[in-house]
Structure 1
Amino acid sequence: MLLRLILCGALLGLNGWASAQPQPQRACGHLRSAFYEYGALYYKAADGSWTGIDKDVVDEVARRLGCTIEAITDSRVRIWAGLNGGTVDMSVSSLSTPEREKFARMVPYLAERNYVLLHKDVSASIRSMDDFLADPNIKIGVIKSFRHGKAYDVWLDRLRAQGRVYEAPDYEAMLRLFKVGRVQAVMAISSGWYPLLKQDQMNGNYRIMDWAPPKDVLVGGLILSRQRVDEALATRISHTIRAMREDGTLRRIFERHLDAELASRLLHF
């Protein structure tokens, strides 16, 4: 009997010791991340493969957590519908709003500003949002479902009321409207207009106007479906992004696709 008690005590001690040891993190399995084409965030490389800031961030999160994250490419409208309907696990470089928070969580990884790109033929007298509003002959293109910050969104609603806003399904469609003269301006963040500097058709054909208040910064990040990604995994993803920022990985990713100055700005979130 004494020997049995001693053995039981030893086993209980071993169990207690084992439970106190750090347990390996569970891999996050298979997820589907929806991407949308936009400037340096997500674009086709010379060999036809997809690349960009958003893809590099997701790939690094997958590597660190041991996930398989399947990439799909779609329009922003369908992506939001999929997140809301529970058919998409996550998406990228998204802004949080009270409506979106009802069905998704946001994990920030970049800060941006919106700019107005004016065609070179637009009068030099157009120097502000009020100047733009006062000229009924100029129109602007945006991507449907995008948010642009408080000041720009109020301004765009006033232009919509005048029938002066064209809603494009994606970035390329918006740029086509600009190139053919259907609109005389487009909205773009810095990681959106930066690649345009390298395009012969666009270089020198526009002026970049910064009309938003200095504090009107847009914080974008991974958007995680509440239906498909539980809180524990969302927390692990958030910790991973934070570690990527602290160890310089985010900066290195940004600098692969932007110049050093713009890359630095994206870290101010």
Structure 2
Amino acid sequence: MFSRRILFASALLWVAACAGAAESAPCGHLRSAFYEYGALYYQTADGGWAGIDKDVVDEVARRMGCTIEASTESRVRIWAGLNGGNLDLSVSAVSTPEREKFGRVVPYIAERNYVLVGKEVDAHIGSMEQFLATPDIKIGVIKSFKHGKAYDAWLERLRAKGRVYEAPDYAALLRLFKVGRVHAIMAITSGWYPLLKQERMAGTYRIMDWAPPKDAVVGGLILSRQRVDAAMAARFGKTIQAMRDDGTLKRIFERHLDAELAARLLNF
């Protein structure tokens, strides 16, 4: 009986050791795609890349022992790559039933959408309904972006009237806005915050908050179901949670936003 207990205890130790080894094993070589957007991912003066999304992925890779090969793509190409099994992961993705079919989302950021309204738009327009009731003004969005239930429903009503322009990326969206092709654009906090530092943009727009108070948009890493199994996805989740618990996520947000805005992004 004593020897059986020893064998059983040894077996338990072996299982625990194997589980621990699996938890700490390097996660190999992965391919990730980023998209340029405000403080999430932007090009620096020396031609390199920086931003919240990059810092999050770099820290996850460091903690998990991954080698993550990065590329910069449009959001449309990223969704195609994930759906087709040509990418392992991407960043700041919003979960939808369609996307959950090919990817698992691991949240790390809670964003809020705003409407940036150009100065040429009548100041009395202060709500979604008033915007809808003014037929000669149009809004720009980035193709495939989700903006929360209230804004998405509003945008569908505007699309039905031909009043929504869809840009392939954030740079193109800003160009539409600057040249007056659209009179407003959708932007999350990390999108409009960098604009505050651009003198040429000063006084050219108003930031409008028209969504219900709890209409946040939660973004996260999206991991390909074809290329990243459930056990590895769980490790990503634990790593992100540890980064939140030890203050790393907050410090990353504060590198690219002010402290007050950074704190809001943790409400996921």
TM-score past 0.5 threshold:
yes
Report whether the alignment pairs 1:19 with 2:10. Answer: no
Distance 1:119 1:20 in 2: 62
Letter in 1 for 2:60: V
Identity %: 74
Alignment: residue pair count: 261
Partner in structure 1 of residue 108 of structure 2:
109
Distance 2:258 2:57 in 1: 21
Report whether the alignment pairs 1:158 with 2:153. Answer: no
Partner in structure 1 of residue 57 of structure 2:
58
Report whether the alignment pairs 1:87 with 2:86. Answer: yes
Partner in structure 1 of residue 225 of structure 2:
226
Secondary structure class of the residue paired with 2:218: strand
Partner in structure 1 of residue 258 of structure 2:
259
Partner in structure 2 of residue 46 of structure 1:
45
Greater shift, 244-253 or 120-129, is seen at 120-129
Shift of 1:17: 7.8
* Cα deviation 1:123-181 (Å, max 9, x = unaligned): 10100001101111110000000011111111111111111100000000000000000
Letter in 2 for 1:228: R
Secondary structure class of the residue paired with 1:201: helix
* Cα deviation 1:214-238 (Å, max 9, x = unaligned): 1101110000000010001000000
Distance 1:268 1:32 in 2: 28
TM-score normalised per structure 2: 0.94
Secondary structure class of the residue paired with 2:165: strand
Distance 2:111 2:125 in 1: 24
* Cα deviation 1:176-207 (Å, max 9, x = unaligned): 00000000100000000000011122122110
Instruction: Give the superposed CA RMSD.
Output: 1.7
The equivalences for 1:147-226 within 5 A come to 147-226=146-225
Distance 1:94 1:21 in 2: 34
Partner in structure 1 of residue 120 of structure 2:
121
Letter in 2 for 1:115: Y
Partner in structure 1 of residue 141 of structure 2:
142
Q: 1:81 to 1:12 in 2, by over 3 A?
A: same
Partner in structure 1 of residue 244 of structure 2:
245
Gaps of 5+ in 1: 1-7
Gaps of 5+ in 2: none
Letter in 2 for 1:221: G
Distance 1:268 1:21 in 2: 34
Higher Rg of the two aligned structures: 1
Partner in structure 2 of residue 3 of structure 1:
none
Q: 1:140 to 1:12 in 2, by over 3 A?
A: same
Letter in 1 for 2:68: I
Secondary structure class of the residue paired with 1:251: helix
